[in-house]
Amino acid sequence: MNDTDFLDAIKWTEDGLVPAIAVDHKTNKNLMMAWMNRESLMLTVENNVAVYWSRSRSKLWRKGESSGHTQQIKSIRLDCDADVVILNVEQIGGIACHTGRESCFYRELQDGKWVSVEPVIKNPSDIYK
């Protein structure tokens, strides 16, 4: 068996991507969603740190490379349809979102409007100098 056979079990999109949801391994809180390609998932497995594929920049994105807020991998799961990956992570620094919040899912639908329900932990301009 090849060490990369696990990649063949995934149903990749036509663009060669799979959605990856990062979840806090202690609280089970959804932190963020990003995309992975074969190379980024392989690097994630090899280095035990989250690496994603940036569609906007068309390149690998090592989570935390500019902010320092890396994601240490605790486990990786594949859903029943083999088309979504869940990364259970330890979020270093407690901030997953580029807005300076713990989670990218900080808005909640209330009375037909999206309301911010989580505070900014650190000003993004202080993170991305």
User: Is 103 a member of any domain?
Assistant: no
User: Is 100 a member of any domain?
Assistant: no
The predicted structure's pLDDT at residue 2: 62
- Which 3 state secondary structure label does DSSP give 86? strand
The predicted structure's pLDDT at residue 1: 44
The predicted structure's pLDDT at residue 129: 75
Averaged over successive runs of 10 residues, the pLDDT of the chain (129 residues) comes to 82 97 97 98 97 95 92 98 98 94 96 97 88
The domain that holds 90 is classified in CATH as: 3.10.20.810
User: Is 23 a member of any domain?
Assistant: yes
Provide the domain count of the chain: 1
The predicted structure's pLDDT at residue 108: 96
User: Is 85 a member of any domain?
Assistant: yes
pTM (2 d.p.):
0.92
Contact between 102 and 96 (Cβ < 8 Å): yes
Q: What is the C-alpha to C-alpha distance for residues 74 and 109, in angstroms, rounded to an integer? A: 31
Give the range of the structural domain holding residue 72, as residue numbers without chain letter.
Answer: 5-95
Contact between 36 and 85 (Cβ < 8 Å): yes
